[in-house]
Structure 1
Amino acid sequence: MGAVHPADVPLVEARALVRRAVDKAEQLGLRGAIAVVGASGALVTASRLDHGGPGGMARARSKAWISATQQIPSSEHLRRMTSLPAPISTGFVTASPEALFPGAGGLPLHDADGTVIGGVAASGATVSPFLPTGVAPEVVSADGKPANPEDLLIAYAMGTPYVGQHGDDATRWKDRFGDLTVAPADSLGMKPAPPAAGQHQLDWAIDLIDRVLAEAARQGLRVSVAIVDPGGDPIQQDRMDAAVAGGVEIALATATTAARFGIPSELLAAWCPADQLAALHPAPLLAVPGGIPIEVNGQVVAGLGIGGADPARCAELARDALARTPAPLS
């Protein structure tokens, strides 16, 4: 008999999947974000490659949410949305605000019994189905057939055979490489990628979050953690197994508040009305304890936020983790 309650993909499995995608993305010369959402619809983990730029994380998370909750590839969801009458498709987005970007590329994740336990997707500055300038044909070939970078890194991360989700790979290949063919033995698309070695900001963020998660576990807390750049765009996000779903948004909002204003998140209310600030920028803001700015040489370079437990304890976790973590490179 299966579990009574649906389960989200465990954090350790989701982290490993994202790391494989990061390795492949670096090999392909891509910069963007990869997100894993649980079957519950709550984010499990997400990583942004160095110099990935803002916006990609939100798109990746939306496509992963669609695949996890609708239990289909996001390309199939897109086909359905574009064939439905406008009132229905508009109503779906209204009822499902995390499905704002119904693009192709997201795939559901299954457990050993075939039950959907999550969804994964990638997007960002140069993460797309188009072949990047200078890419070697062998790298974007899967078993001797044309592939596209976005779908390739997801298939590689999942360890499943490559299937294009973005239309005609052959046409894009011909536009770039003409009639060139690559023998299956020479195709590198699904072969092991070297471990990513140039993700210094991401690696620093993961190390900091790992310190938070280890201390939270020691204290018997289940929390979510976010690290964002100075503009509030996420660099790394993680939710501990069995942590409440709402902690994801709390962590992101407190981290964003700390990063954008350069103050601990609880001090924002003394500066200005948070409800009015929300109308000025789409990044979430929350004036409760849990968010701490991160500075290098007096300049704010990131924000750390923790949510899902008592805010005072979350703030203490954040301060302790920062005190024990080397500062990021300026």
Structure 2
Amino acid sequence: MPHPRDLPLAQARALVERAVAKAEQLGLRGAVAVVGASGALVTAARLDHGGPGGMARARSKAWISATQQVPSAEHLRRMTTLPAPIAAGFVAASPEALFPGAGGMPVEVDGVVVAGIAASGATVSPFLPEGVAPEAVSADGEPANPEDLLIAYAMGTPYAGQHGDDRARWRERFGDLEVAPEAALGMRDAPPAGAQRELAWATALCDAALESAAARGVRIAVAVVDRGGDPIREDRMDDAVAGGVDVARATAAAAARFGTPSATLPDLFGAGAGASSLATLAPTPVLAVPGGVPLLADGRVVGGLGIGGAAPDACAAIAAEVAR
């Protein structure tokens, strides 16, 4: 019996690119994540000025949809009907499900769930943003909320609201205004995103790391984070180990938050409790092992690059090569 595989990186990236394009068209700022059915992240991207926290929320909802194989809205409905001890036990046993919000959707190939996708962030929500044109948040003439619109557009599936009463939110913003189906723009093609300069920078770094790893014959995960350690872009190569994602994110955060390669933290803060206790100070996991390097612009730290999934020396070499 063949072993299952997660959605391939190339296909997952295509979903994220479509969601980012639609988000830019709508003027939204946030993050989009695709998590494999294994529960390991495949890819994720944060739009410029998306703010910290959205990536973690998107990843959580995508994890729920991928592993529970239902829309996260259905999972939320079930959780709210369970006795509190059972609901709390689920979260304790499933730490990636810390944010059981609506909006995540399972991704199927040939009838099998291979991933989940979700969006969240600064202005990615079910609420209609100020100044949005009614035609832009209408799908076939019916009200559509921006968050669910992003995901439906990315997947190429008919729009279906996951956040309750779209029409009530529509009436609050637009009153009795009606949009003719032929005038609705919500599911129309969006041009490729062209205004995401920070995301493009992070994507180029990840691309370079993936190319370097392929040339070396190793499978890795790569993360680029901002100066606070929040991810901007993350990718995991096909069949790369699941834990590589966590190592990449944590070494990138260590390098960004402390402005030094992650491997040097024990030298700076002590090889024992000193370096290990740094993780208790940071709001995001940090890891003091080889693989993470700070990213500089005009002499200041603007982020971190982390590599995981291969031998630590190989990860460190790829990170140093890419960050040069």
- On whether the aligned pair clears a TM of 0.5, the verdict is yes
Q: Say whether 1:155 aligns with 2:152.
A: yes
Which residue of 1 is the match for residue 170 of structure 2?
A: 173
The CA deviation at 1:194 is 1.3
What is the distance in 1 between the residues matched to 2:192 and 2:285? 33
Output one character per residue of 1:251-300: Cα deviation in whole Å (capped at 9) or x when no partner.
Answer: 00000000000000011112222332222223111111100001111110
Which residue of 2 is the match for residue 140 of structure 1?
A: 137
Which residue of 2 is the match for residue 89 of structure 1?
A: 87
What is the distance in 2 between the residues matched to 1:255 and 1:7? 27
Q: Say whether 1:33 aligns with 2:31.
A: yes
Q: Retained in 2: the 8 A contact 1:290–1:311? A: yes
What is the distance in 2 between the residues matched to 1:248 and 1:4? 24
What is the distance in 1 between the residues matched to 2:99 and 2:276? 25
What is the distance in 1 between the residues matched to 2:320 and 2:279? 26
Q: Say whether 1:128 aligns with 2:164.
A: no
The CA deviation at 1:215 is 1.3
Corresponding residue SS for 2:116: strand
- The more displaced of 293-302 and 70-79 is 293-302
Q: Say whether 1:22 aligns with 2:20.
A: yes
Which residue of 2 is the match for residue 246 of structure 1?
A: 243
Which residue of 2 is the match for residue 326 of structure 1?
A: none
What is the distance in 2 between the residues matched to 1:281 and 1:212? 26
Which residue of 1 is the match for residue 314 of structure 2?
A: 313
Aligned counterparts, 1:36-115, within 5 A: 36-111=34-109, 113-115=110-112
Output one character per residue of 1:301-325: Cα deviation in whole Å (capped at 9) or x when no partner.
Answer: 01000000011111111111122xx
The CA deviation at 1:37 is 0.2
What is the distance in 2 between the residues matched to 1:246 and 1:274? 21
In the alignment, structure 1 segments of 5+ residues that lack a partner are 324-330
Aligned counterparts, 1:193-212, within 5 A: 193-212=190-209
Which residue of 2 is the match for residue 298 of structure 1?
A: 299
What is the distance in 2 between the residues matched to 1:23 and 1:274? 41
Q: Retained in 2: the 8 A contact 1:274–1:285? A: no
- The more displaced of 157-166 and 188-197 is 188-197
The CA deviation at 1:71 is 0.1
Output one character per residue of 1:46-68: Cα deviation in whole Å (capped at 9) or x when no partner.
Answer: 00000000000000000000000
What is the distance in 1 between the residues matched to 2:257 and 2:297? 15
Which residue of 2 is the match for residue 261 of structure 1?
A: 258
Q: Retained in 2: the 8 A contact 1:293–1:300? A: yes
Letter in 1 for 2:255: A
Q: Retained in 1: the 8 A contact 2:135–2:186? A: yes
Letter in 2 for 1:60: A
- The more displaced of 312-321 and 57-66 is 312-321
Q: Retained in 1: the 8 A contact 2:61–2:103? A: yes
Which of residues 200, 209, 226 in structure 2 aligns to 1:229?
226
- The more displaced of 194-203 and 143-152 is 194-203
Task: Give me the TM-score of the superposition, normalised by structure 1.
Answer: 0.96
Which of residues 2, 5, 17 in structure 2 aligns to 1:4?
2
The CA deviation at 1:5 is 1.0
Q: Retained in 1: the 8 A contact 2:293–2:305? A: yes
What is the distance in 2 between the residues matched to 1:274 and 1:38? 32
The CA deviation at 1:6 is 1.5
Output one character per residue of 1:130-179: Cα deviation in whole Å (capped at 9) or x when no partner.
Answer: 00000000000000000000000000000000000000000000000001
What is the distance in 1 between the residues matched to 2:163 and 2:219? 38
Identity %: 70
Which residue of 1 is the match for residue 189 of structure 2?
A: 192
What is the distance in 2 between the residues matched to 1:137 and 1:195? 22
Aligned counterparts, 1:264-283, within 5 A: 264-272=261-269, 273-283=274-284
How many equivalent pairs are there?
Answer: 320
In the alignment, structure 2 segments of 5+ residues that lack a partner are none
- 4+ residue runs over 6 A deviation: none
What is the distance in 2 between the residues matched to 1:285 and 1:207? 23
Corresponding residue SS for 2:280: coil
